[in-house]
Structure 1
Amino acid sequence: MATQLRNVNDGGEAILQALRNLDIDYVMSSPGSEWGPVWEALARQQVDGRDGPTYLSCWHETLAVDLAIGYTAVTGRMQAVLLHAGAGLLQGSMGIHAAALTGTPMVIMSGEALSYGEDREFDPGRQWFTSLSVVGGPHRLVEPLVKFANQASSPSTLYEQVVRAGELAQRSPSGPTYLSVPIENMMHEWTPPAKMRKAPPAPKTRASDADIEAVAALVAAAKNPVISTESAGGSADGYAALLSLAEALSIPVVEGMVAGVCNFPKDHPLHLGFGPQPALKEADLVLVVKNRVPWYPPSDCPAVAKVVVIDDDPIKDQMVYQSLQADLYLEGDVPTTLRLLEAAVAGAGLDKSAAAERRARAAAAHDALWKANRAAEAASAGKGPIDPAWLCAELSRVLPDDTVYVDETTTHRRFVQSHLQHKGPLSYFSVPSGLGQGLGFGLGVKLANPDRPVVTVIGDGAFLYNPVVQSLGFAKQAKLPTLIVVFNNQGYNAMRNNQLSYYPEGTGKQHNLFLGHTIDAPEYSDLVAPFGGWGRRVEDPADLESAINEGMAAVAEGRTAILNVVIGR
């Protein structure tokens, strides 16, 4: 087993070759002592000038996982994450949960030891005996969060087990997979397979022609159809297919309460806003397109509407409760399904007069909503304290049209949805799962978009949940400058609001005691200085435009920028 002094193929090379054959671009890692064999293989790759994944040392486990999520969200390409033992796996588990919620394919590995110093030829280190090992294996820690969790059980199977984990991650329903890799197996000599193959891409599935024709007949007959979506725009292809279907059939679009991406142009006359909208209540047919939670409470669906769910994975096994109220399913690749449905409705015969009428109704409703949002911005323009609606409007006006926004706001999400004008597919991403992931997600988006400005909008409370030092340090190290805009309402307003909703006339309200609300905050804009970044605090509305421009100038110079905007609500 003792290969550490010999330059031979071992388990580290097996892992790296598997990642090459899975077409992995990056190995994102918060380094742990078990990964010496992989680092050695990466060193040989560099010295030999071989193609293969680039290694990124990420300073923190949550950062490593979120970097992979953000990168895959833009590119659609699965990445690999190496964590440290069970401890690192636990540290990165919030990001792993986010990957599960969003169906982000990812191969995650961490190490373990099997011999605990009893093998006289190889000592993995006493830390595995004293503190790092997990009874039953570290895969037990993440089984609820991943599609597949297992141990790489032998040196002979290690290579194929990594390849299989990658192929499983990409199969519908896509999501993260996990392998625990014993150090002893990585140190063992490895013989490459006689037949070395590139792993093929996962095939796309599609709904049957009969099901598509049945839904086409419903659409053709409907008077008030509505599309409800959360993540149809998760790819440029999905965005284009949804836009084409809605325009061809004159069907208005409502984006979900927790829309995770830009699904449809906000300025389009068929866009009717976010969350519960009158159009849904009045609908006689709802096309639920990649939307896990189209209504809340979950049983509060339109009373008379037929509900058709269009999704590659409609019934989410990672959700504790889900009630789509579906009458029919079109299950398969969503862009393909939308294009086939559009063609089938054309073949079934669309009532053009009815379509024109509903398009006119939708345009009038959109117009009223659009004017109300612009009026809210105008009413608060230039006034102090800075209003979040106007802040979003100013960001939209001043920042370049090709800006990509990453959103980790909570109480301000409704302002971002209504007033921040991102443009085109893959121009907006909201951070899933728990707070504390926005900075890493934003850096992953920047890694995938090196030539586009990336702006992370984030609440002050959410900012504090993030691994801030690690994210700022990694951004400098990896040359990934972004603009971070802190929506600073000087407290955890979500906590205060929840206490009031539970106890509207309670002791907290009577005595102004909201113990979960207080943030004794640092000056956020100062935190970037040790990393050569730019920071500025803004309270006066007159300073906002110049501050945004200064921040973007710093980003153009390759420096991370933090704009701390104090807002009034």
Structure 2
Amino acid sequence: MELRDAPTARLHPEGRAGPVAAPTSVVRTVAEAFLVRLRRRGVDRLFVNSGTDFAPIVEAYARRHESRLDLPDVVVCAHENLAVSMAHGSYLGDGRMQAVVLHTSVGTANAVCAVFNAARSRVPILLAAGRTPLFEHTRLGARDFPIHWAQEMFDQAGMLREFVAWDYELRDGAHVTDVVDRAVDVACTEPGGPVYLTLPREVLAAPMPGTGAPPAPARPAPPHPDPGAVARLADLLATASFPVVVTADAGADAHAVVLLDELSRRFGIAVVEQGPRHVNLPADHPLHAGYSVDAVLGEADVLCVLDLDVPWIPGTAAPRADAVVVQCGPDPHFSRYPVRTHRADLSITTTSTALLAGLSAALGTRAVDPGRADRLAARVSGWRARRERVLADEAERTGPITKTALNAALARVRPPGAVVVNEYWASAELLASTTPGTWFGTPPAGGLGWGLPAALGLQMARPEATVIAAVGDGAYLFANPAACHHAMAMHDLPVLTVVCTNGHWGAVQGSTLRMYPDGHTAGGGALSPLAQLGPVPDFAAYAEASGGLGLRVEQRAQLVPALRQALRSVEHDRRPALVDVRCV
């Protein structure tokens, strides 16, 4: 399997591609020192929704034509959920940590849901929030707006302390470099995640001491598994009759996809992608066992859970009593989850890449049945035949548009290598991605409004890619669509948005029916008022209002032509497009 690195580009604040000029003058203020250090630590983009608290940062960028300082490129965002989720998507696109500017307490409050998503996805983001000025007078940067009293909190960081790996307040400019280094190092140390730094305006405005900044420290090495634990797991896998790896996030590192591909082929190990958030194994791999672990739990005698928080739902399924369950990951028991009691007969703290490399070496010294790969391939391939039947059936069907019909249409027109960012309706099984980095699923926390902004950030990180945001009407509304389409126009981000519009919260209605299959909701025969979204707006108008192409589809026969027209818009005209698909 060949691994191709995703293309990347650096953008100027005004959106032109090209290198940033080398600095020709010294740093004057703490704000400038903060920004220079961010760039020095690999932060290329500053996703900004700022306010009165960031006047020194505004001044630093205004002085850039004179200072020629190398600062992160500014990406203006009209809402904090957009800013944080774009930074999240940007990291998914190129693997580089980015920073977000939040406006004091109120901006932080708007960002909490997106930070929750990033935290559960272990995505490193430096969140730099302004703080209400400390002083009422006498200092440069002291309070000069009435809001500077009402916006102050006793513990601003407390709003998101449970979700960040570290939080701090910059109290003096003399240690701005140390504080930025600390923030970046914590965010990027496995298991990783967002960090939060508050910046008082007076501190940012202060002159920077004339000492030179030290070199950037080396990043910490990722955790490697205990050799004894790897040897034990290798013994279990070598002697198993039906070994299975189940994962959702191993493919966060594309190198792990290559290693898992080779390990599975060479040693005859089946792989299930359970609720995948990445491409963990190409869908056309002979030992790909589908997208539901329930299909193999009855047969698997060794179940290796690879960096997956919920490998099965305890109330509905469980591994065989005589199976061996091995939990592996940077935090194999997900210690930040208050309750998680999934069985573990062996636990290994490691990254997926390190474990797979170690396992390949260890299994290479053990006797493994050479016929196991072919036998397992025959036993786990049934999902492919079912997929082909569904796609063939949908091509012949008529009537209202269903989610299955929408997936079949997208599978038919999806360009090779096109990236799908899914928040609701896209099916990993029906779309069957084969290239690492071309499928991104909803974060574990499920905070709505992530998908479309994340697609924008991913498009920014990979400007040559075709990026498709697959969202439901509820997720689309939560994403602040006017702000998202505004960002597409401002930053030249030709994303294709496909909205599955059915006018209700399917998860709300579905969860009620699962809990009360014989209850009043089930017997009423009508959609609960708590699950209704109607009347649904004209979503195509959001795209058109910012210069994009907006299409509305109500008939099956319109689906494929509309998707092809939208793809031509984003690929050839570099014009964002939205297809509003009215589904049942």
Distance in 1, matches of 2:363 and 2:143, equals 64
Cα distance in 1 for residues equivalent to 2:238 and 2:140: 73
Match in the other structure for 2:326: 308
1:397 to 412, 433, 446: 412
Which secondary structure state, in structure 2, belongs to the residue aligned with residue 450 of structure 1? Answer: coil
Sort the Cα spacing of 1:300 and 1:226 in 2 relative to 1 into closer, same or farther, 3 A. Answer: same
Q: Does 1:370 align with 2:384?
A: yes
By how many angstroms is 1:56 displaced?
0.8
Structure 1 residue 417 and structure 2 residue 428: aligned?
yes
SS in 2 for 1:348: coil
Aligned residues: 552
Query: Gaps spanning 5+ residues in structure 2: where?
Result: 1-25
Answering whether residue 150 of structure 2 is matched by residue 135 of structure 1, we say no
TM-score by length of 2: 0.90
Deviation at 1:534, TM superposition (A): 0.5
Bigger Cα displacement from structure 2, 93-102 vs 7-16: 7-16
Q: Compute the displacement of 1:128 (Å).
A: 4.7
Contact 1:405 1:454 (C-alpha < 8 Å) held by counterparts: yes
CA distance in 1, matches of 2:484, 2:233: 47
Match in the other structure for 2:205? 187
Cα separation, partners in 2 of 1:496 and 1:130, compared to 1, 3 Å: same
When residues 29 and 537 of structure 1 are mapped into structure 2, their CA distance, relative to the original with a 3 A threshold, is same
CA distance in structure 2 between the partners assigned to 1:197 and 1:38 by the alignment? 23
Q: Measured at CA, do residues 127 and 274 of structure 1 come closer, stay the same or move farther in structure 2, by a change above 3 Å?
A: farther
Q: What does residue range 43-62 of structure 1 map to in structure 2 within 5 Å?
A: 43-62=62-81
> Which is further off, 186-195 or 115-124?
115-124
With over 3 angstroms needed to count, the CA separation of the structure-2 counterparts of 1:118 and 1:423, relative to structure 1, is same
The alignment status of 1:146 with 2:164, answered yes or no, reads yes
Provide the C-alpha distance between the structure 1 equivalents of 2:62 and 2:45, rounded to a whole number of angstroms: 15
SS in 1 for 2:225: coil
Distance 1:554 1:352, change over 3 A: same
In the alignment, the residues of structure 2 paired with residue 294 and residue 510 of structure 1 have an alpha-carbon distance, to the nearest angstrom, of: 33
Cα distance, 1:122 vs structure 2: 4.7
Mapping for residues 6-405 of structure 1, pairs under 5 Å: 9-119=28-138, 122-136=141-155, 138-256=156-274, 258-297=275-314, 300-353=318-371, 355-356=372-373, 359-366=374-381, 368-381=382-395, 382-405=397-420
Cα deviation 1:442-478 (Å, max 9, x = unaligned): 1011111110100011111211111110000011100
Deviation at 1:285, TM superposition (A): 0.6
Cα contact 1:148–1:165 (8 A) shared by 2: yes
For residue 371 of structure 1, give the secondary structure of its aligned residue in structure 2.
helix
Q: Does 1:427 align with 2:438?
A: yes
Q: Aligned partner of 2:112: which letter?
A: S
Letter in 1 for 2:454: F
Question: Contact 2:134/2:200 (CA < 8 Å) preserved in 1?
Answer: no
Counterpart in the other structure of 1:567: 583
Displacement of 1:499 in angstroms is 2.7
- Over 3 Å counting, the alpha-carbon distance change for 1:28 and 1:199 in structure 2 is farther
Gap runs ≥5 in structure 1: 1-6
Match of 2:512, as an amino acid? Q
Partner residue in 2 for 1:3: none
Paired position in structure 2 for 1:4? none
- Alignment-derived partner of residue 21 in structure 2: none
Q: CA, structure 1 residues 46+430, in 2 after alignment: closer, same or farther (shift >3 Å)?
A: farther
Change (3 A) 1:18 1:503: same
Q: How far apart are 1:293 and its partner, in Å?
A: 1.0
8 A Cα contact 2:569 2:576, kept in partner: yes
For 1:517 and 1:210, the matched residues in 2 are separated by 51
Most deviating of 513-522 and 82-91: 513-522
The amino acid of 1:165's aligned partner reads A
Secondary structure of residue in 2 paired with 1:92: helix
The superposition leaves residues 376-407 of structure 1 with CA deviations (integer Å, 9 ceiling, x where unpaired) of 23223241212322321221221211100000
Tell me the equivalent position of 1:532. Answer: 547
Is residue 455 of structure 1 aligned with residue 473 of structure 2?
no
Give, in whole Å, the separation in 1 of the partners of 2:195 and 2:144: 27
- Secondary structure (helix, strand or coil) at the match of 1:341 reads helix
Contact 2:141 2:205 in 1 (8 A): no
TM-score where L is the length of structure 1: 0.93
CA deviation after TM superposition for structure 1 residue 195, in Å:
4.7
For the residues of structure 2 that align with 1:551 and 1:417, how far apart are their CA atoms? Answer: 21
Say if 1:225 and 1:155 are closer, same or farther in 2 by CA, change over 3 A: same
Is residue 485 from structure 1 mapped to residue 505 from structure 2 by the alignment?
no
Change (3 A) 1:279 1:509: closer
Deviation for aligned residue 1:364: 3.7
- Return the letter of the residue paired with 2:127: I
User: Displacement, 1:335?
Assistant: 1.0
**Contact 1:116-1:128 at 8 Å conserved across structures:** no
1:440 to 439, 453, 458: 453
Distance 1:261 1:254, change over 3 A: same
Q: CA deviation at 1:192?
A: 4.9
Report the CA distance between 1:121 and its aligned residue.
5.5
1:263-288 CA distance string (max 9 Å, x none): 11222221111233332221111111
Separation of aligned partners in 2, 1:462 and 1:146: 24
Flag the 1:112–1:208 CA change in 2: closer, same or farther, 3 A: same
2:560 to 524, 537, 545: 545
Report the Cα distance in structure 2 between the residues aligned to 1:458 and 1:64, rounded to whole angstroms.
18
Identity across matched positions, percent: 29
Is the Cα contact below 8 Å between 1:158 and 1:185 reproduced in 2?
no
Give 2:303's aligned amino acid.
V
Post-superposition CA distance 1:358-384 (Å, at most 9, x none): x32333431x22111221232232412
- Deviation of 1:329 (Å): 2.5
Deviation string, structure 1 residues 297-343 (Cα, Å, up to 9, x no partner): 27833321111222122132331212232222232232122012111
- DSSP 3-state at the match of 2:312: coil
Alignment partner of 1:266: what SS?
coil
What's the CA shift for 1:488?
A: 1.7
What are the Cα deviations for residues 31-83 of structure 1, in whole angstroms up to 9, with x where unaligned? 22211212222333344444331011111101110011111112111111110
Whether the 8 Å CA contact 1:139–1:151 is kept in 2: the answer is: no
Partners of 1:405 and 1:120 in 2: how far apart?
50
- Equivalent residue runs for 1:490-529 within 5 Å: 490-511=503-524, 512=526, 514-519=528-533, 520-529=535-544
Matched with 1:475 is 488
Please state how far the C-alpha of 1:201 moved relative to its aligned partner.
Answer: 2.6
Instruction: Tell me the C-alpha RMSD between the 2 structures.
Output: 1.9
Greater Cα offset, 184-193 or 523-532: 184-193
- Does the 8 Å contact 2:327/2:347 carry over to 1? yes
**DSSP-derived class of the 1:143 partner:** coil
Query: Relative to 1, partners in 2 of residues 1:468 and 1:319: Cα closer, same or farther, differing over 3 Å?
Result: same
2:80–2:111: 8 Å Cα contact kept in structure 1? yes
List structure 1 runs of 4+ shifted beyond 4 angstroms.
Answer: none
